[in-house]
Amino acid sequence: VSKHFFLLNRRLDSKIGVVGQNITLPCKYRVNHQNDITTMCWGWGSCPSSWCSQTILWTDGRRVTERQSSRYRLEGNFAQGDVSLTIVNAAEADGGMYCCRVEIPGWFNDQIFVLLENIPGG
């Protein structure tokens, strides 16, 4: 019996992978000019009022500056605002809430809630 992972956020509800395979959690922001590139973090759990709680990956906008495990990777194009998180060789323990926080000035425009669940069967 394989375990399926599902991704849920405000705009997306789709199956994205199975245990033992790589899973990519999408997170993108608009980059019109070089100076739009900004810091961001991926955290475990819900998004707090600023930054990330239980940070698993941090970037200065141009490169990864902190990573809790080599299984967490950003393989997208930073210059185009693609900071999607790839979890290599996903395990059941990877299920739960993830937070992608892009530090963009303003109210509530820097949060993306991602829920990753283990779904038995199928």
Write out pLDDT tens, residues 66-81: 999 999 999 999 889 9
Q: What domains does the chain contain, in order, with CATH numbers?
A: 3-120 (2.60.40.10)
Q: Which residues pair with 57 in a beta bridge?
A: 42, 67
Q: What is the pLDDT of residue 93?
A: 79
Q: Which residues pair with 98 in a beta bridge?
A: 44, 114
Q: State residue 79 phi and psi, 5-degree precision.
A: -65, -20
Q: Can you list the residues of the chain whose pLDDT is less than 70?
A: 1-17, 105-122
Give dist(CA 99, CA 22) in Å, integer. 18
Give dist(CA 84, CA 31) in Å, integer. 14
Q: What is the pLDDT of residue 15?
A: 45
